[in-house]
Amino acid sequence: MTRITVTIFLALLSFLSHLLILSTQQEQQHPDTVHPNCSIGNGTYTDTSPYHNNLITLLSNFTSNTTDDYGFYNYSYGQNPDTVYASGLCRGDVTPDVCRSCLNNATRLLPHNCSNQKEAFLYYDLCILQYSSSSMFGIYVDPDFSYAFNNPEKAADADQYTDALDRLMKVLKTNAADGGSDRKVAAGNSSTLSSGQTVHGLAQCTPDLTEQQCDDCLVNAISGIPLCCQNKVGGRVIKRNCNLRFEKVQFYNPTVIDPIQVLPPSQGNNFKSRNIIVIIIPIIAVAVFLLLISIFIFLKMKKPKEAIQNSFVEADQLDGEIKHAEIIQFDFDTIKLTTDNFSDSNKLGQGGFGAVYKGELYNGEEVAVKRLSRDSGQGDREFKNEVMLVAKLQHRNLVRLLGFCLERGERLVVYEYLPNKSLDFLLFDPDRSAHLNWATRHQIIVGVARGLLYFHEDSRLRVIHRDLKASNILLDGELNPKISDFGMARLFSADQTQSNTNRIVGTYGYMAPEYVLHGQCSMKLDVYSFGVLILEIISGKKNNSIFNENSYGLLDFAWQNWRQGNGSNIIDPLLINSDSRNEIMRCIHVGLLCVQENAIDRPTMASVGVMLSSHSLSLPVPSKPAFLMNSTSSILKDSSSEATRSSEGRRNYVQASSNEVSITNLSPR
């Protein structure tokens, strides 16, 4: 009888307490309450300003990439100084659909709630949205910023509850920080020592933070718990880059985030495998890490400096460079917009590494966007190589690099746009080449020579282009030449003049014999290619053109005619009536000096510059160009056809030169 009464009484009590909990839960923050903060700072905009337009454009399509499903969106839009940066983070356990719905609500509300504020932040139950006029990506922004809410219900055994919460938050912090570059979130529960309560928690950082930044941010957030939520069963601390929440009920969806269970210390013997793993993995990780460090130090002390691979030296130098290079990092969506989603009508051409598109930036500036194909075999390192070299090298005869984009596997390089396309487009077309009179062609030869001289001697880095050819010479509105496509250029430290490369990169017909046959790479390689280019510019013929059954292409044809005193046969008929015949013949002479078989005989670009500018200096007699012997020619022809086959489907920058092929990844035999 009494037992039944007690049971009924207990049931009633439990029912009442549930009612109480429900009512207090209703008293706490309504889940959909919007918490905007419009007073972060950094000024205001007007409704007619570019910033306003950029903001609207950016937010209107903020979640349109439906393949981005890890709950973090960060984009920017617009040109300096009106660029808008925005990022959205969903709670780690929400599904992509709910996440987009939440962020869509947020993108509608925030500019409205914080009208005309350049920088604003909004916290929803399930997502956070913020935008700013300065970049936030990878930055632990505004450590003092903090929102905190509590669930007003008091914890039954506050000391034990707080203790369980502390243990939980330490574990969640470490696990969230450890979460990789897509997601940094952890959830779990922790039980009190003896009062049988459980606290559930979730901690999260924006995934663009480093592990250390995330850890710092969460330490900061955790330190806010006593201020807002001392002795309360629940609370939330929200910072710009991280947030945490705890409740006595499981408020998150445990099927999306695998919860971590933290047991009180006295139950150490009953540790389940998960907890053991939680503890043992870091121990093993630390041990392995220490071991690796010692091995590394040991090897480093043992190995002489020269033994460190060349590639490391290069990488280090590159890393040092990008810090100083002033280039814009575009976001993928901006580029997509400017190129009309990489439409065919915007396509300028297709190179060995990918297609080139024309785009127009917000400010009306026209750009050429090179979208590197994912299967191009060009790794992150080559990409950075290109970006950093071009950004660093600035000269009027080099194509200017404006920026790049490296985002979710996409690699894009943004160059200035040159309306007259590439030299081969004009030179090898009978109609278009009529626009290239001798004065123009001479200007192109001299300009390319200046660009190369800059590469070889004047720039702080010594650079070998390695793939100089007509399709890599772009022309500006005044037909000034600008050398492009530095992707394959290699860095040279100041005291090095020659290195054996482990990769052949270049285009047959323009490549010097020592490079094709032995992989030897020196500045004389570019001199050789330049010589081929001079002869092409003067003759209007491609180096692989067939002239007659007795010649093996342009070099052979030029050499034979030159030796027989028939130099004018080499000259493009369009130039024959030019009154600059002497100057043309002198350029042929220089061209033949550049393509001499023996690299040592070829002049440096500095001497080429002197030879081209002086009319009186007497020039040495050229020796035989490379690739005239039947044997060498057949080697060339064999490897050339093989290479063409292996890179089938690749076409060059401009369609006019589709039969020239850039070759990479071809190891010298």
Ligand X SMILES: *[C@@H]1O[C@H](CO)[C@@H](O)[C@H](O)[C@H]1NC(C)=O
Is the distance from CB of 367 to CB of 402 less than 8 angstroms?
yes
Q: Which residues are annotated as a binding site for ATP?
A: 370
The stretch among 2-10, 61-69, 507-515, 609-617 that binds ligand X (CB under 6 A) is 61-69
The torsion region of residue 5 among left (phi > 0), alpha (psi -120 to 50) and beta comes to alpha
Closest distance of CB 250 from ligand X, Å: 5
CA distance 54 to 79: 9
- Determine which one of 82, 216, 333, 467 is catalytic: 467
Closest distance of CB 235 from ligand X, Å: 16
Closest distance of CB 322 from ligand X, Å: 14
Among 49, 68, 551, 568, interactor with ligand X by CB under 6 A = 68
The stretch among 405-413, 416-424, 461-469, 475-483 that binds ligand X (CB under 6 A) is 405-413
Give the binding-site size for ligand X (rule: CB under 6 A).
Answer: 49
CA distance 184 to 215: 10
**For residues 305 and 408, which CB has a smaller minimum distance to ligand X in the complex?**
408
At which residue do the structure tokens 């050819």 appear? 469
Asked whether position 282 contacts ligand X by CB under 6 A, the answer is no
Closest distance of CB 397 from ligand X, Å: 32
Handedness of CA 165, 167, 168, 173 (dihedral sign): positive
Query: Residue 123 in 3-state DSSP?
Result: strand
Residues 142-171, one symbol each (x = binds ligand X by CB under 6 A, - = not), give: x-xx--------------------------
Asked whether position 76 contacts ligand X by CB under 6 A, the answer is yes
Is the distance from CB of 525 to CB of 512 less than 8 angstroms?
yes
Among 3, 112, 324, 669, interactor with ligand X by CB under 6 A = 112
Residue type present at position 395: H
Is the distance from CB of 427 to CB of 536 less than 8 angstroms?
yes
Asked whether position 126 contacts ligand X by CB under 6 A, the answer is yes
Is the distance from CB of 178 to CB of 203 less than 8 angstroms?
no
Task: Report 326-345 residues binding ligand X (CB under 6 A).
Answer: 331-332, 337
**For residues 247 and 556, which CB has a smaller minimum distance to ligand X in the complex?**
247
Residue 422 per-residue DSSP state: B
Among 407, 416, 476, 583, interactor with ligand X by CB under 6 A = 407
Among 7, 17, 23, 39, interactor with ligand X by CB under 6 A = 39
User: Is 467 one of the annotated active-site residues of the chain?
Assistant: yes
**For residues 82 and 485, which CB has a smaller minimum distance to ligand X in the complex?**
82
Residues 177-216, one symbol each (x = binds ligand X by CB under 6 A, - = not), give: ----x-------x--------x--------xx--------
Residue 354 per-residue DSSP state: E
CA distance 317 to 153: 58
Asked whether position 138 contacts ligand X by CB under 6 A, the answer is yes
Among 7, 44, 115, 134, interactor with ligand X by CB under 6 A = 134
Among 67, 273, 582, 667, interactor with ligand X by CB under 6 A = 67
CA distance 16 to 590: 100
Asked whether position 92 contacts ligand X by CB under 6 A, the answer is no
Alpha-carbon dihedral 477, 478, 480, 486, rounded to 10 degrees: -10
Among 40, 156, 328, 606, interactor with ligand X by CB under 6 A = 40
The stretch among 140-148, 150-158, 307-315, 599-607 that binds ligand X (CB under 6 A) is 140-148
> 30 phi and psi, to 5 degrees?
-65, 135
Query: Residue 205 in 3-state DSSP?
Result: strand
Is the distance from CB of 391 to CB of 408 less than 8 angstroms?
no
Among 21, 96, 116, 137, interactor with ligand X by CB under 6 A = 137
Pairing of strands 328-329, 401-407: parallel
Asked whether position 82 contacts ligand X by CB under 6 A, the answer is no
Of 555, 530, 507, 446, the residue nearest 659 (C-alpha): 507
Is the distance from CB of 336 to CB of 346 less than 8 angstroms?
no
Residue environment code for 387-412, b if the CB has 16+ CB neighbours within 10 A, otherwise e: bbbbbbbebebbbbbbbbbbbeeebb
Query: What count of other Cβ atoms lies within 10 Å of the Cβ of residue 183?
Result: 16
Active-site amino acid positions: 467
Residues of this chain that bind ligand X (CB under 6 A): 32, 34, 36-37, 39-42, 57, 60-61, 64-65, 67-68, 74-76, 98, 101-102, 105, 109, 112-113, 119, 126, 132-134, 137-138, 142, 144-145, 181, 189, 198, 207-208, 250, 259, 261, 331-332, 337, 407-409
